[in-house]
Amino acid sequence: MIDIDPVTLIVSAICMGAFIAPLAYQNFKVKSSESLLQKSFLEVAQQNGIQPEIQERWRNHYQLGLDPKCKKLIYHRYGAYPSQSIIDLSGISKITLDEKNHMVQVKKEKRVIIDYLALQFHYKDPNHPTKSLEIYDGELFSDLAGERVLAGNWKTLLEKTIHS
């Protein structure tokens, strides 16, 4: 049988607790932040009579929700410059992707760097200006994390909703 010194056991327990405590605290903080973001998103949706069946949040900075029954889209951008938008899809004629990029050349290799990506809504009424919903901003984030695919998926989903 192995004898364990009580002092060693206590020191080990304290070291493990000191290692786990910051991780547990960070996890708690992230979950409470996400809960507040979701609560604020659903409050705005409820105030406008929208019940989003399809929702997506990415980078804890953007969130989209779609209510296909009433054909309304709700958008939230959190952070330093928050914004909220509600778009009635029954007044939209088409949706396009607005992408701004620049080319970088390193030796013989050329790369396209995306600076900005947004869904752009064109209204049936020609007097109504187009509306853009930011999906990615290169000033805030250093790399893409699937936003191009995400934007394409939402564009397809919204086009189906418009034409149904």
Q: For all residues of the chain together, what is the average pLDDT?
A: 88
| Model pLDDT for residues 63-90, shown as the tens digit of each residue | 999 998 888 999 998 877 888 889 999 8
* Other CB atoms within 10 A of residue 127 CB: 5
Using 50, 70 and 90 to split pLDDT, how confident is the model at 155? very high
Three-state DSSP at 153 gives: helix
Give mean pLDDT, residues 90-108. 89
What amino acid is encoded at 126 in this protein? P
Residue 149's pLDDT is 92
CA–CA distance, 97 with 155 (Å, rounded to integer): 8
Summarize pLDDT for 17-52 with one digit per residue, the tens.
Answer: 999 999 988 988 888 878 887 888 888 888 888 899
- CB atoms under 10 Å from CB of 160, counted, come to 10
- Enumerate domains of the chain plus CATH numbers: 51-162 (2.30.29)
1 pLDDT band, cuts 50/70/90, is low
Single-letter residue type at 138:
G
Which token pair is 72? 């309304």
**pTM score, two decimals?**
0.77
Percentage, residues of the chain above pLDDT 70? 99
